[in-house]
A = this chain, B = another copy of it.
């Protein structure tokens, strides 16, 4: 008779111990509240009530930890099933889900822009995204190109927006206070140096920054999808 579940099921000692999942979760919390520069092994250890170097049993280096963290975040992105509501609304949902994920974790763009994403969740995300575009009718390389373009646009656009929001937050002002100040400065600068830009800047008076960013995101997204549609 083969070893029973009981004797086999002793992977973890009863002693309460750290786990990689715990470390990763705590790191995400720290990143969300203090940003990429705010993450240090010592602060992370403190949050886990552990010694700083204990973390290194569960994770090879800080860089590795970030790779786990990033893949965990990729798991938060929803991809609609290919044949639920058509490829286009599927792609829109995917794009908005990715955007929301980035806005929830604004340090993500900086973290991913220096590494490639090949963790299991990233792979699964990419697989489901290509399935979506296959259902649209794309084949061959165009499949990868279309999915890649969508991700690139969403990350580029949302990354820039996240940077704006971070700047606002760092200023200690509310979004609209800040927007009004920037508007006033831009208008003053234009009056002196670039009078021909005055009308364009005047358009910005009293806009809601968040709504504007959302509209800007959708504009580019629809353009891209129109381009996809034209190739089917």
Residues of A within 8 A of B (CB): 36, 107, 109-110, 112-116, 127, 130, 140-146, 148-149, 151-157, 159-160, 162-164, 166-167, 194, 197, 200, 203, 212, 215-216, 219-220, 222-228, 230-231
In the assembled complex, the Cα of A153 lies from the Cα of B225 at a distance in Å of: 13
Bound together, the chains give a CA A150 to CA B112 distance in angstroms of: 20
CB<8 Å pairs between A and B, sample of 24: A109-B113, A110-B114, A113-B162, A116-B163, A130-B200, A141-B212, A141-B215, A141-B216, A145-B215, A148-B157, A148-B160, A148-B220, A149-B216, A149-B219, A152-B153, A152-B160, A153-B156, A155-B159, A156-B156, A220-B224, A223-B227, A223-B231, A225-B227, A226-B227
**Identical chains bound together, number:** 2
Instruction: Chain B residues near A115: list those with CB within 8 A.
Output: 163, 167
Of B107, B110, B130, B152, the contact of A220 (CB 8 Å cutoff):
B152
Inter-chain CA distance A114–B37, complex, in Å, is 10
Closest Cβ–Cβ distance, residue A223 to chain B (whole Å): 3
Apart from A145-B219, A149-B157, A155-B156, list 4 A-B contacts with CB within 8 A.
A146-B220, A151-B156, A220-B224, A226-B227
